[in-house]
Structure 1
């Protein structure tokens, strides 16, 4: 077993996703020495972006929400060169495409909300009350509220089954990566609050620019990649290369599967699986606006012309369309999806080029009620864990979990000296 000749750090963080980078940053700012070891070839975890034939391909369709407290605290938004999605969605229905727009962002679209077009007067009143309460009220009552399924909460809020089925169910399926509205109502209210208060955007260089900015704020020698960890030892971590890094604190900041492997006995939630198909086309954009399109028939989670949001996602004269579905890629699935896209975009799709398909096995943790909004970081003496599977399935959850782990490490190391 080879040992490193470097002075041992105070903490080793395993994984350079959002949680690991946040944890490392907080520990460094507190004066500790830290090493971050990442198994893959770069930082970001699930928030990675690749260049493919001149296109920016995020590893799964993702959006960036500007309203998260951890985002405001840690990131320089101007440097990301964000461009927004439309504040609303287009819903493909049997009656054609219907537009649902936040009237506070687009007052000229207020007519879209007239009763009978998108829903009854009762549904629209319930929607206004829900949005006002979640966005304008204090956050603590939302966190402490009785937890139940999102479907139950929506029904209790006064929404008709028809309105839930044609709007909430297809829209939230793309948010929660499940199509039964079985996700925690506490989490739903927090997500709805963040959407009403914030703006959904994409960075100019892809979603991977977010963790890249966090990593750029760390000293260059702190993070190393292509350094998979074989196991934890009594003194620290053993890398697959045979090198051991000793440290009094080890923070496992990986996805749930790897975390359970490195920390036997760790209970992890089930994971949602999502697959995103990336198509390219020339000529006129199939939808000439940066708007998310959902399907009331739930043949897919959502679809969007990403190059309408960020033109740099596609070479000049070309367009990039991302469409996500639950589960994995299967034979014949893309052909069925292509037929559905022809209908919802009202255009031929036979000539669309399938650029690539990305499946994310651990895209989000399942969050049925009762859903704790945070779990303890300490799992044993000198052993800690963080990640969105220890909080909520969101950028906010991942960053907050990393911060919680750092606070716990600092308390423990200070108390032991």
Structure 2
């Protein structure tokens, strides 16, 4: 319970990735912090439901082990990442093509950018590879483009002309078959944007991260990130079940516990909730996401790979046997299949998903049981061009805002936005921010 007239140096509204990462940096600088979360638990869109021994992510965002903020954020040194290995499988015309593991350096080490060619070479050597990549010249163009992208520093990528991603890929000389067969399903999984309307700069950053590190999932579910950050804060810092109804530079008024006074306020909620508390903030459009979680008598794929659909033959954009990727997400001896549908739900979606999964995995799904369905219409803020990757986090002295809607709509963007907000607050308090220290991420077996 929050006592009336409770005081803190900074009150943070929202206990998602951005708010918790900012809280950790501010407490490390000696400030007293109070984090208020309206939900009964922390995490926001990164929450994980626990059901009969299964751990089911709310929207299941993919991570790249090369995200810099996973190493720079204090409190995440205990994070374990489980790789999708051997990377991705692409389903097309009834066959699955192995795309391999990009980035020979697992867990994000930037050594050997030549590993960026792995995906293109693996696909090119597969039977009927022309189905996905075109002829030999097309495949060579793809390999060269991936190698250049992986080796290009991020500032140079951000200086490129900005276009919708689909248009930019074609204007770079990549054949439409290559874009449709490999890059579109991959980028749809990374950006949750199947139509590739995202800013090409944001897509370049996402694809570069994939090429340099590969895809992974946090051991124990998406909530592992926010749980680690919460556990590393002083006891009592985070208070759940407390809903803010108004905010200012000197106080936050809550529905249940009255006023919480402060010297500064950081709004770290989703974009829509932030605009409700601070009218005038821009609310972007969103990519809706629906996550389906099934269990089956046997694993339909006995490897921890991410399966993409190049043909758009059904509602599922990507799917994985998550109990193979991360055994801690299912009880011993049980199977967990998690699948992502991009777009709004429609009638009969459950049945259409099962039919599509049967085609993707090449097996009957009649014996599969549905564990849970999570739909979020505001899952991922859209990033159409022109997109400002560094929207201001300081609205005025004492009033700040952060979240993936102020940066890029990724885990990297949320963490980086929290870091930017913490630095702005410390600067206004006259405190010199500490230098960031990279922490090692243990490679999970």
Give CA-to-partner distance per residue, 1:127-170, whole Å, 9 cap, x none. 22222222223221012221111112211222111111122222
Match of 2:347 among 331, 343, 361: 331
Q: Which residue of 2 aligns with 1:85?
A: 84
Q: Which residue of 2 aligns with 1:162?
A: 177
Instruction: Report the more deviating stretch, 15-24 or 319-328.
Output: 319-328
Give CA-to-partner distance per residue, 1:339-386, whole Å, 9 cap, x none. 111111111101100111011222111001111111101223421110
Q: In structure 2, what is the Cα distance between the partners aligned to 1:46 and 1:108? A: 30
Q: Which residue of 2 aligns with 1:354?
A: 370
Give CA-to-partner distance per residue, 1:256-282, whole Å, 9 cap, x none. 110000101111211111001111011
Match of 1:321 among 313, 322, 337: 337
Deviation for aligned residue 1:104: 5.7
Match of 1:289 among 279, 303, 308: 303
Match of 1:345 among 349, 356, 361: 361
Match of 1:399 among 404, 407, 415: 415
Q: In structure 2, what is the Cα distance between the partners aligned to 1:347 and 1:81? A: 32
Q: Are residue 231 (structure 1) and residue 242 (structure 2) matched?
A: no
Question: Does the aligned pair in 1 maintain the 2:76–2:229 contact within 8 Å?
Answer: no
Question: Does the aligned pair in 1 maintain the 2:4–2:257 contact within 8 Å?
Answer: no
Q: Are residue 248 (structure 1) and residue 263 (structure 2) matched?
A: yes
**Compared CA separation, residues 249 and 108, structure 1 to 2 (3 A):** closer
How many residue pairs get aligned? The number is 412
Give CA-to-partner distance per residue, 1:269-326, whole Å, 9 cap, x none. 11111001111011x3101111111112322211111111011212222211111112
Deviation for aligned residue 1:200: 2.1
Q: Which residue of 2 aligns with 1:308?
A: 324
Question: Does the aligned pair in 1 maintain the 2:86–2:304 contact within 8 Å?
Answer: no
Q: Which residue of 2 aligns with 1:4?
A: 4
Match of 1:123 among 138, 143, 149: 138
Q: In structure 1, what is the Cα distance between the partners aligned to 2:132 and 2:343? A: 30
Match of 2:405 among 381, 389, 396: 389
1:171 is paired with a residue of what secondary structure? helix
Question: Does the aligned pair in 1 maintain the 2:132–2:177 contact within 8 Å?
Answer: no
Question: Does the aligned pair in 2 maintain the 1:100–1:113 contact within 8 Å?
Answer: no
Question: Does the aligned pair in 2 maintain the 1:66–1:72 contact within 8 Å?
Answer: no
Q: Which residue of 1 aligns with 2:61?
A: 62
Q: In structure 2, what is the Cα distance between the partners aligned to 1:366 and 1:111? A: 32
**Compared CA separation, residues 140 and 409, structure 1 to 2 (3 A):** same
Give CA-to-partner distance per residue, 1:40-78, whole Å, 9 cap, x none. 112211111121111111112233322111111126767
Q: Are residue 151 (structure 1) and residue 162 (structure 2) matched?
A: no
Unmatched 5+ stretches in structure 1:
none
Question: Does the aligned pair in 1 maintain the 2:88–2:100 contact within 8 Å?
Answer: yes
Q: Which residue of 2 aligns with 1:134?
A: 149
Q: Are residue 113 (structure 1) and residue 128 (structure 2) matched?
A: no
**Compared CA separation, residues 314 and 234, structure 1 to 2 (3 A):** closer
Question: Does the aligned pair in 2 maintain the 1:255–1:387 contact within 8 Å?
Answer: yes
**Compared CA separation, residues 233 and 111, structure 1 to 2 (3 A):** closer
Q: In structure 1, what is the Cα distance between the partners aligned to 2:373 and 2:162? A: 36
Q: Which residue of 2 aligns with 1:208?
A: 223
* RMSD, aligned α-carbons: 2.2
Question: Does the aligned pair in 2 maintain the 1:184–1:371 contact within 8 Å?
Answer: yes
1:50 is paired with a residue of what secondary structure? strand
Q: Which residue of 2 aligns with 1:25?
A: 24
1:46 is paired with a residue of what secondary structure? helix
Q: In structure 1, what is the Cα distance between the partners aligned to 2:9 and 2:24? A: 13
TM-score where L is the length of structure 2: 0.87
Question: Does the aligned pair in 2 maintain the 1:103–1:110 contact within 8 Å?
Answer: no
Q: In structure 1, what is the Cα distance between the partners aligned to 2:33 and 2:78? A: 26
Instruction: Report the more deviating stretch, 113-122 or 216-225.
Output: 113-122
